[in-house]
């Protein structure tokens, strides 16, 4: 199953971080090797059989870490692939323990 995620908001980053040289994770993305052979991330995101999921991660105090979009094939919906932004980035980077997805106008924990 193929997937691709990208960060659109880094809720943990602030002006002090920028001043001391810590970079925001906005624009960070999953490894392109998760995409089908010879397919760019833009082509994958635009494919008619790919679904877009809005996600955000939280630490055990409920603080939001990162937020973005996950693109996956229909086979990936409801699978462990929904956890990839948490496992690949927010867990190791910020100690986040939960991931939520946007469904019907509400955030729902996965």
- Which pLDDT tens digits describe the chain residue by residue (110 residues)? 788 999 999 998 877 676 666 788 999 999 877 788 888 889 999 999 899 999 999 999 999 999 999 998 866 566 788 999 999 999 999 999 999 999 999 999 99
**Phi, psi for 35 (deg, rounded to 5):** -90, 155
* Cα–Cα dist 106/34, whole Å: 28
Q: Which domain holds residue 81?
A: 3-109
pLDDT of residue 108: 95
Distances (CA, A) of 98 to 22, 43, 53, 63: 23, 29, 15, 10
**pLDDT of 24:** 87
Report the number of distinct structural domains present in the chain.
1
| pLDDT number for residue 109 | 94
């Amino acid at each position: 199953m193929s997937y691709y995620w990208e960060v659109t908001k880094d809720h943990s980053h602030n002006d002090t971080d920028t001043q001391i040289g810590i970079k925001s994770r906005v624009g960070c993305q999953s490894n392109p090797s998760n995409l089908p052979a010879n397919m760019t991330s833009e082509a994958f995101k635009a494919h008619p059989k790919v679904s877009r999921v809005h996600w955000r991660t939280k630490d055990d105090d409920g603080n939001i870490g990162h937020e973005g979009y996950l693109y996956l094939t229909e086979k990936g919906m409801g699978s462990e692939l929904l956890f990839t932004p948490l496992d690949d980035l927010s867990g190791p980077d910020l100690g986040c323990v939960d991931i939520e997805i946007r469904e019907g106008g509400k955030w729902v924990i996965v």
